[in-house]
Amino acid sequence: MAIPLNEIVTMPAYSPYYPMPPARYRDVRIQQVFFRADLSAIDRILPECFEPSADGLCVATGLSVGWCSSYGAFLESALSVSCTYKGQKGSFAPIAYLDSRSSIPAGREIYGTPKVFADMRVEMDERVMYTESRLAGTSALTIRSTMHREADPSEIPGEGPSWRLKVIPKASGDGVDVMQIIDGSNVVSDAKVHVCRAGDGVVEFNPVPTFDLSDFKPLEYYGAYYQELEFTEGYAEIVHDFLAD
């Protein structure tokens, strides 16, 4: 019997490459370093539907996923920048590096997260956690932070929408089949934070020929946070569909 078209949501049709949400995550370690970048760097990577926030706030995130029901174990890093959309303040993710085969297409096709493959290391060196993302033999993004004081998750900045721009090109080459603003701020549910700490952090961006973010040299740091947690990842929200206009 042929596969009904209304049952096909991704490929291969007979055995999808990744399960659809929800996905359960356990043994997750996350470090976040908050810093200020030059507004010209933020403006360079923003789609024109967004505008840089005047504060230039950015956050570099490194994480280690020990177990995920949909993608197994993997390592990841990401950059988010503060911006506005139609006068509302939120954040936009211009890049996410990771070493997972199935999480990359899932993140891009479902949520529009700009995931790309990199050689990843997430480790502890005495009291410093570090995440290193390497491309073509070079460290494109390195995050280092401490966790020397207790903290509460409510201290961590990040209220508001977490936007992505989901784009899928036409096979014919004349334009796109999908162009949507996605808000991923509410994808997480049933979260259990086992450890929350705070400390100091630094971020380093090096020039690379692809996905270059070397102009994001931090101008000022605003602290770092560390969490150990588990959570469920569900579906996101379509904020605007440009092709429906």
Instruction: Give 118-147 as a 3 state SS string.
Output: CEEEEEEECCEEEEEEEECCEEEEEEEECC
What does the radius of gyration of the chain's CA atoms come to, in whole angstroms? 18
Kindly report, residue by residue over 154-208, the tens digit of the pLDDT.
Answer: 999 987 999 999 999 999 999 999 999 999 999 999 999 999 999 999 999 999 9
CB 28 within 8 A of CB 64: yes
Residue 1 pLDDT: 78
Q: Which CATH number do you get for residue 92?
A: 2.40.400.10
Arithmetic mean of pLDDT, 63-91: 97
In a domain, 11, yes or no: no
Structural domains counted in the chain = 1
- Residue 2, classed as helix, strand or coil, is coil
In a domain, 45, yes or no: yes
CB 195 within 8 A of CB 189: no
Token duo for residue 101: 């085969």
Going by C-beta distance under 8 Å and a sequence separation of 6 or more, which residues neighbour residue 145? Answer: 31, 32, 33, 128, 129, 130, 199, 200, 201, 202, 224, 225, 226
Read off the DSSP letter of residue 16: -
Q: How far is CA 227 from CA 25, 27, 32, 232, in A?
A: 13, 10, 9, 16
In a domain, 157, yes or no: no
Single pTM value for the model = 0.95
**Counting beta carbons within 10 angstroms of the beta carbon of residue 134, is it exposed (0 to 12), middle (13 to 18) or buried (19 or more)?**
middle
Domain span including residue 201: 23-152+186-236
Token duo for residue 42: 């933020």
Going by C-beta distance under 8 Å and a sequence separation of 6 or more, which residues neighbour residue 84? Answer: 50, 51, 52, 53, 90
Q: How far is CA 174 from CA 72, 157, 169, 171, 200, in A?
A: 37, 41, 8, 8, 48
In a domain, 173, yes or no: no
In a domain, 33, yes or no: yes
Confidence of residue 245 (pLDDT cuts 50, 70, 90): confident
In a domain, 179, yes or no: no
Does 149 score more than 80 pLDDT? yes
In a domain, 108, yes or no: yes
Kindly report, residue by residue over 26-58, the tens digit of the pLDDT.
Answer: 999 999 999 999 999 999 999 999 999 999 999
Confidence of residue 60 (pLDDT cuts 50, 70, 90): very high
Q: Which of 95, 91, 103 is nearest to 34 (CA)?
A: 91
Residue 158 pLDDT: 81
In a domain, 84, yes or no: yes
Arithmetic mean of pLDDT, 107-111: 97
Residue 216 pLDDT: 98
Arithmetic mean of pLDDT, 136-155: 96
